[in-house]
Amino acid sequence: MGVRSASKSSIVTAFPYGTAGSTWSIHVSGPVAMAFCGRFTDLFIDVPFYTCFSTIPKYKCLPRKPFYTRVLPKPPVPGEKDTTMHTTIFRHRTSAALALTLAVLALPALAVPSTALLQRCAACHGANGNTAAAALYPNLAGQSAAYIELQLTNFRNGERPHAQMRAVAEQLTAPEMRELAAFYAAQQAKPQPPTDAAMERQGRHVFEHGSANGAPACASCHGPKGHGQAPFPRIASQPAGYTLEQLKVYRDAPRFNNPLATAMKQVAVKLSDADMRAVSAYLATVR
């Protein structure tokens, strides 16, 4: 019942559904298969589960048959305990668990960045992605891996102008960018200590409710705690000076080609200097 796949790390899963001969097939990659099985393991209570792991050569010729033989349940005998449902649930959870395990094994391993590669970034961004020069550089720790990789690409091709970062990005290969992005995304961001309670309180109001000039709440795009939500980056725990500088760049630049940067410009032009300083100060303290 499975369908062979040419994808390197993909799984084809088929569920006979409804009447005899009716099949619902899905073609998913390893990560999607993990999410799929993990989310729906408990839902397939009475559906036979078939899988064809066609990327493993020794299993290519497996017969297309279920992991078990389905037997129609017998009518319960008075006085005896009916175990049909418990057996069915266990059987399908076992099948889903097997599929999930093999999906994990199908995922390509992500290499850890070399010490030499990390040292290129550590001078400015810190060994674990928390910069020691908060007045100059951003934290990378806890940032979305996809966002870090995108920004490195933008620095390299000039979409995001920055002479120093372009020189760094031009020396990185695509796999190295992915390795660095994954490494820093897994690190713990460290917030800055509070310095001005009144200003931070004002900044929290801008973050949660927007500005008096009509700028929307930062939380509406960057999440209720500023941790980011695709495609918007994490802004919590960033040094106040860096955030303030970026807001001014968005406000003062004549135009952007990137639609997300264009959206940020529309927000920044509605923030006063006081709003920018306040929200930057608040975000620096958010864990």
Contact 14, 50 (CB under 8 A): yes
Which amino acid would we find at residue 109?
Answer: A
Segment-wise mean pLDDT, segments of 10 residues, the chain, 287 residues: 41 35 36 38 34 38 42 58 46 46 48 89 96 93 96 93 95 96 97 96 98 97 96 96 96 91 96 98 97
Which domains occur in the chain, in start order?
10-106 (no CATH), 111-190 (1.10.760.10), 191-287 (1.10.760.10)
pLDDT of the residue at 243 = 97
pLDDT of the residue at 87 = 45
pLDDT of the residue at 109 = 56
pLDDT of the residue at 258 = 85
CA distance 161 to 170: 13
Rounded alpha-carbon distances, angstroms, from residue 149 to 84, 126, 265: 51, 18, 22
Look up the pTM and report it.
0.62
Q: Where are the alpha helices (DSSP H) in the chain?
A: 30-40, 84-106, 115-125, 145-157, 163-169, 174-185, 197-209, 219-222, 240-252, 259-268, 273-284
Work out whether strand 23-29 and strand 10-16 pair parallel, antiparallel, or are unpaired: antiparallel
pLDDT of the residue at 170 = 97
pLDDT of the residue at 124 = 96
β-strand partners of 52: 12
Burial category of 190 from C-beta neighbours within 10 Å (exposed 0-12, middle 13-18, buried 19 and up): middle
User: What are the residues whose beta carbons fall under 8 Å from the beta carbon of 251, sequence distance 6 or more?
Assistant: 265, 268, 269, 271
